[in-house]
Structure 1
Amino acid sequence: MSMSALRRGRKAVVALTTALAVTLVSCSAGEEGAGMGEQQGTPPSTDFFGYQTNSRLVTTNAGTAFGAATNAELLASRLYPAAFVPGPGGQLIPNSDLVTTQEITEPSPDAPRKILYTISDQARFSDGEDVTCEDFLLAYKAGKMRELFGSQKPLANEISNLQCAAGFKQFVVTFNPGQGERWRYLFGPGTVMPSHAIAQKAGLTQEELVGALYAEDPYQLQEVARLWRYGFSVTEFDPDLQLSYGPFVIDRVGPDGEVILKANEDYFGDAPALEQLVVWPRSADTQRLVEDGALQVLDSSTANPTWYDRDSETNPFTLQSQPGDLTDTLVLSGYGLFSQQWARQAFAACVDQGRLAQVSSEKSGTEVAPAYVHVLRHSDPLIPRLDPVTNPHKKTDMELAGQLAGQTIRIGYLGPDERLAAMVQAIKESCEAAGVTVEDVAAEHMSQIHLEIDPETGLPTIDAFLGPVDPMYEYGGPEALIQNVSALRVAEEKLWEDLYDIPVSAQPRTFILDRSVENVVPYTGLSGIGWNMDRWNINEELAGQVTATSEETSEQ
């Protein structure tokens, strides 16, 4: 069954389910509906398989602070796959289509951890150029030089050296003594970008790029950093820069911010089951897209969308809600008011995680629990073993919080977002009892970079940023293994003592899936449900049954 036939069936289903008339759309560009304003000669985005994310589609570089804030991995994970990719159960699996790894030293106090990376001979970008060690060197240096690159790659700070010669397919990463246990999370989804394309646009050879990166010279790297930070914008799509080494490559960007992907012909691994796939942003009109039969997979902000009737016999979708792997977290600035440890601890004392989890649950329609642990995902079975460290932080202390009386705390998040807004309001109400004022300063371009000093004021733009993080990528520390419980307790105690981050609660997730779609495996980590989107496919027999059912119901 073709996508157009499937769409006809879906339109009939949704018309019956929602009892809404489908309005005829004018042919004029000024009256076009969602996804219909395509350039002349190209089919509308609604003609293809559709996946709507619960985020804005702003950049494909997840290593930038703004990419992290917008969860760019949802789009970028199959453009720039990680060195280790999530399996069906969330476990990490080596991505041998890209790189293989080998620990070449047994870590000890006198011998830091060293990892040998060997890039596949077949790993190449969609312009035919090889993936080489410069791509990983750039990822590391961008993470280390956070202020220049506007990056958010905390684990890069655990690296002491990355040995790379221009054009080579091997490199060695050496970690600082006692660090690097979470090295498999280092080169995550959407963080290894095409260095050759960046160098070319910056007017550098690969050798010159490598030299500039090792020198860490801000003057030499100024244009490289600008391109790395802003060049992978979705709204200003540059096909010469936004190459891919994954199964998909960006074909074009539609008028409503949707990103049309196509199979990457230079990808050595298995070709995608779908030749084209459209990724829609959160801002797209979901109901209209559903009515047009243009959505098959949805990552929804609520478990109770107004357009969804789960009891309808002709409903083609299933809905699944669950607490996600990510932890909603308050990340605090190290400058301004929160440059002092006592101030950070006082603020944490009026943050009521239990109440915030309740508010998040009410707004999302998905029950989530409070979180008190930094170093582990909130669902990790080892969590109870860290209770001796976290129990003292499971209640508010208004006397301690009162040390901040008269102060104003500015909390930013990527807005607009009703759930996060309600959580900030709950923090405001809780901290008011201690005489602390909390101000909601959400913005469309908010990220953790605003926790840094603003050169014009000498102060951070915000004092705290609220958003989801994956503890395994955000914090260094021991692996999540039973034999490491003592070390995990030490690491957790240190994080609560320094307190640059306050874990809040599990992130709620809801997925809505067309029953005729095969191989969709819900995953709530950074890559989201699209972690294996290259394997998604339409079961034509099931699609035909749904279409036939809708047509029979329509005739009655």
Structure 2
Amino acid sequence: MTTPRRSSRRVARTIGALTVAATVGACAQSADQVPSLGFAIDNVVTTYNANTREGAATGTAAAFGRVLTGMNYIGPSGTPLADTDFGSGSVVPGDTLTIEYRLNPASVYSDGVPVACDDLVLAWAAGSGQFTRPTENGPVPMFDAATRAGYADIDRVDCEPGAKDATVVFKPGRSFLDWRSLFGATELMPAHVAAQAAGVPNVVSAIASGDIDAVGRIADFWNTGWRLVPGELDLTRLPSSGPYRIGSYTEDGGLVLVENERWWGNRPATSRIVIWPKGSDVQAHIDDGEIEVIDIGAGSIDGLNLGNGFDVVDEPSRNVEQLVLANHGTLGAVEARRALALCVPRQLLYDELGHPGFDRSQGLGSGVVDSRITAPDTMFYQSAVAAEGGLYTDPDVPGAEAARESIDQPNLTVRIGYLGPDERRARTVREIAASCEGAGITVVDVGSPEFRPSALGAGQADAALAGTASASGAGGSSVPTDASFALRSGNGDNFGGFSNQRFDQIVDQLAVDGSLAARMSLLGEAEAILWNEMPTIPLFDQPRTVASSKGIHAVVPNPTRSGAGWNMDKWILLR
């Protein structure tokens, strides 16, 4: 990848850039301003709903953070920040955690329907897991939600249909520590659209009354009704609650966001943003002057040449690059998973691919990551990773061979998939294949533009090379429940199907127990279980590259699932 200038700057220029943007924004859309900006991301956008298993693994959250707003958004530090344009939440004193939410009285969707507490009720119902339908293998959730973190701890959401306030009451003893991360950007879908599609008066009444038939119809639409197919959009089902709305989506023209005329906050500084998802010819669009901002995995686009017109920031993210293993089929036996882990050259992969353009002595991006659920820049990291003990840092080919032979698999073949094309991940698979060959393990690259982490459950791959919770592009946050729930039994984004009762108990306790002593003990025990059971193989903090046209204002890298587009409504480029 050829780039003109690399920098680790980020926060240092944030305040100045936003100040300039605010000043220039006063005369936005002047003759000197570029009226439309192109934004390339490294994931596909196949649904409007980022909360389904499909949506959470795609680039929906990175694309629509300023289209579907909420009570909060993930800022560059990885923590949830309150979005007071949308509403506010405050704790009600008492033994049971209770939050009073107030929506902005002026809030309205782009189709003219007011934003209401109905949207919170739908988000809770979808994420709670409490609505199920019977199958031959037992009850399964009606809503194909990616995660139940926090939402499953809510007892009820008190809401009058159409009202601007709601009271969220948690279950006794389940005071969810990260409640400020709930009901955030892209998590609140337009409930009135789902109600209309399901043929019910409103979602609040159907959910409150426990009308299983009506809720089932709502869930069916929630699961699949917001899918996006280029050239086939029904814009009436895609109203916006943010400064941008979808204008069009085509293969040739990209995903076009235009100004939402009904937005009640500050107008977007640039009225049109064109998102170019994974699969777009990024180099051609750069050469044609159609892309001004790029947020991709470092080294993912082979031969990318930005010329001299971009400033580039390379930095580690809160997204842990890892192999998510199918806990069935070829890797169903723990010794098979351990055999693979023993021959993966984790240190080599970090050295060659894990820190391009930056060197960190500590914290994020400073070395091989030995934990799936505890970040390297936290006080708990060193105690949590003690269980790894250096056993899996460098390849142990004899050990891997012995583990393979112990389960009598003379020809262990492991198919590793990822969303392609992705040069860094292709190189990762090649290095793993070369290292594991001596242990009698054949590694096959099954990465493709159609790959999804659901391929693990479908038996189409044995491992997914992706980030936290199997996200293919931007992912992660500093909220610890995101990573831990991705390995909890029954959670939607647990694509490998890992299940351990004690680990589930630990995850549930960590979600509500803020005691430092308890957290230190529990995180160490959790990681010991994970290294013993090997549901995933962590590699390194995923490096990200953010490039922006020289002279553009307010582009601030955000190495989380929000991506650089977290503040796209502030971007300005003058000619």
- Taking structure 2 as the reference length, the TM-score comes to 0.73
Query: Equivalences for 1:451-466 in 2 at 5 Å?
Result: 451-452=456-457, 454=458, 460-466=459-465
Query: Equivalences for 1:110-189 in 2 at 5 Å?
Result: 113-145=97-129, 148-155=142-149, 158-165=152-159, 166-168=161-163, 169-174=165-170, 177=173, 180-189=176-185
| Cα deviation, residue 339, structure 1 | 5.2
- Equivalent AA in structure 1 for residue 167 of structure 2: F
Local SS of the residue matching 1:259: strand
| Cα deviation, residue 321, structure 1 | 1.3
Looking at structure 1, the residues matched to 306 and 272 of structure 2 have their Cα atoms a distance apart, in angstroms, of: 29
- Equivalent AA in structure 2 for residue 94 of structure 1: A
Looking at structure 1, the residues matched to 329 and 93 of structure 2 have their Cα atoms a distance apart, in angstroms, of: 42
- 8 Å CA contact 1:327, 1:503 repeated in 2: yes
Percent sequence identity is 27
- 8 Å CA contact 2:142, 2:219 repeated in 1: no
Query: Equivalences for 1:364-383 in 2 at 5 Å?
Result: 369-380=367-378, 382-383=380-381
Task: Say if 2:554 is the partner of 1:522.
Answer: no
Match in the other structure for 2:430 = 425
| Cα deviation, residue 379, structure 1 | 4.3
Match in the other structure for 2:224 = 229
| Cα deviation, residue 485, structure 1 | 3.3
Local SS of the residue matching 2:68: coil
- Equivalent AA in structure 1 for residue 456 of structure 2: L
Structure 2 CA distance for partners of 1:237 and 1:379, relative to 1, 3 Å = farther
Looking at structure 1, the residues matched to 211 and 542 of structure 2 have their Cα atoms a distance apart, in angstroms, of: 37
| Cα deviation, residue 401, structure 1 | 5.1
| Cα deviation, residue 440, structure 1 | 3.0
| Cα deviation, residue 291, structure 1 | 3.4
Task: Say if 2:324 is the partner of 1:331.
Answer: yes
Match in the other structure for 1:248 = 244
- 8 Å CA contact 2:279, 2:449 repeated in 1: no
Looking at structure 1, the residues matched to 207 and 460 of structure 2 have their Cα atoms a distance apart, in angstroms, of: 31
- 8 Å CA contact 2:467, 2:542 repeated in 1: yes
Local SS of the residue matching 1:325: strand
Query: Equivalences for 1:331-350 in 2 at 5 Å?
Result: 331-338=324-331, 341=334, 343-350=336-343
Task: Say if 2:438 is the partner of 1:440.
Answer: no
Looking at structure 2, the residues matched to 335 and 219 of structure 1 have their Cα atoms a distance apart, in angstroms, of: 35
Query: Equivalences for 1:399-418 in 2 at 5 Å?
Result: 399-400=402-403, 402-404=405-407, 405-406=409-410, 407-418=412-423
Q: Which has the higher contact order (CA 8 A, sep 6+)?
A: 2
Structure 2 CA distance for partners of 1:354 and 1:163, relative to 1, 3 Å = same
Structure 2 CA distance for partners of 1:291 and 1:440, relative to 1, 3 Å = closer
Structure 2 CA distance for partners of 1:306 and 1:343, relative to 1, 3 Å = closer
Local SS of the residue matching 1:391: coil
- 8 Å CA contact 2:75, 2:558 repeated in 1: no
- Equivalent AA in structure 2 for residue 330 of structure 1: L
Match in the other structure for 1:319 = 312
- 8 Å CA contact 2:456, 2:462 repeated in 1: yes
Looking at structure 2, the residues matched to 481 and 533 of structure 1 have their Cα atoms a distance apart, in angstroms, of: 38
| Cα deviation, residue 533, structure 1 | 0.6
Q: Work out the number of aligned pairs and report it.
A: 479
| Cα deviation, residue 76, structure 1 | 1.2
Match in the other structure for 1:493 = 528
Looking at structure 2, the residues matched to 256 and 536 of structure 1 have their Cα atoms a distance apart, in angstroms, of: 23
Structure 2 CA distance for partners of 1:189 and 1:427, relative to 1, 3 Å = farther
- 8 Å CA contact 2:51, 2:145 repeated in 1: yes
List per-residue Cα deviations over 1:187-211 (Å, max 9, x = no partner): 343232112112212222214x652
Structure 2 CA distance for partners of 1:157 and 1:342, relative to 1, 3 Å = farther
- Equivalent AA in structure 2 for residue 474 of structure 1: A
- 8 Å CA contact 1:366, 1:509 repeated in 2: no
- Equivalent AA in structure 1 for residue 153 of structure 2: I
- 8 Å CA contact 1:212, 1:221 repeated in 2: no
- Equivalent AA in structure 2 for residue 373 of structure 1: S
Structure 2 CA distance for partners of 1:431 and 1:103, relative to 1, 3 Å = farther
Looking at structure 1, the residues matched to 151 and 460 of structure 2 have their Cα atoms a distance apart, in angstroms, of: 24
Local SS of the residue matching 1:504: strand
Structure 2 CA distance for partners of 1:162 and 1:266, relative to 1, 3 Å = farther
List per-residue Cα deviations over 1:102-123 (Å, max 9, x = no partner): 33467xxxx6644443333333
Structure 2 CA distance for partners of 1:71 and 1:307, relative to 1, 3 Å = closer
Match in the other structure for 1:38 = none
Gaps of 5+ in 1: 1-45, 455-459, 544-556
Looking at structure 2, the residues matched to 288 and 242 of structure 1 have their Cα atoms a distance apart, in angstroms, of: 29
Looking at structure 1, the residues matched to 54 and 168 of structure 2 have their Cα atoms a distance apart, in angstroms, of: 29
Structure 2 CA distance for partners of 1:420 and 1:132, relative to 1, 3 Å = same
Looking at structure 1, the residues matched to 223 and 436 of structure 2 have their Cα atoms a distance apart, in angstroms, of: 39
Looking at structure 2, the residues matched to 123 and 59 of structure 1 have their Cα atoms a distance apart, in angstroms, of: 24
Looking at structure 2, the residues matched to 183 and 163 of structure 1 have their Cα atoms a distance apart, in angstroms, of: 14
- Equivalent AA in structure 2 for residue 354 of structure 1: Q
Looking at structure 2, the residues matched to 338 and 141 of structure 1 have their Cα atoms a distance apart, in angstroms, of: 34
- 8 Å CA contact 1:69, 1:467 repeated in 2: no
- 8 Å CA contact 1:133, 1:171 repeated in 2: no
Structure 2 CA distance for partners of 1:202 and 1:219, relative to 1, 3 Å = closer
Match in the other structure for 1:269 = 265
Looking at structure 1, the residues matched to 218 and 569 of structure 2 have their Cα atoms a distance apart, in angstroms, of: 34
Structure 2 CA distance for partners of 1:184 and 1:438, relative to 1, 3 Å = farther
Structure 2 CA distance for partners of 1:66 and 1:103, relative to 1, 3 Å = same
| Cα deviation, residue 282, structure 1 | 3.4
Looking at structure 2, the residues matched to 113 and 345 of structure 1 have their Cα atoms a distance apart, in angstroms, of: 42
Looking at structure 1, the residues matched to 251 and 330 of structure 2 have their Cα atoms a distance apart, in angstroms, of: 43
Looking at structure 1, the residues matched to 152 and 207 of structure 2 have their Cα atoms a distance apart, in angstroms, of: 21
Looking at structure 2, the residues matched to 297 and 381 of structure 1 have their Cα atoms a distance apart, in angstroms, of: 34
- 8 Å CA contact 2:370, 2:385 repeated in 1: no
List per-residue Cα deviations over 1:293-333 (Å, max 9, x = no partner): 322212245569756466xxxx3321221222211122233
Match in the other structure for 2:493 = none
List per-residue Cα deviations over 1:422-456 (Å, max 9, x = no partner): 2233333334443334333334333333333x5xx
CA RMSD of aligned residues (A): 3.4
Looking at structure 2, the residues matched to 334 and 137 of structure 1 have their Cα atoms a distance apart, in angstroms, of: 34
Range with greater deviation from structure 2 (48-57 or 163-172): 163-172
Looking at structure 1, the residues matched to 211 and 432 of structure 2 have their Cα atoms a distance apart, in angstroms, of: 41
Local SS of the residue matching 1:261: strand
Task: Say if 2:349 is the partner of 1:356.
Answer: yes
| Cα deviation, residue 511, structure 1 | 1.4
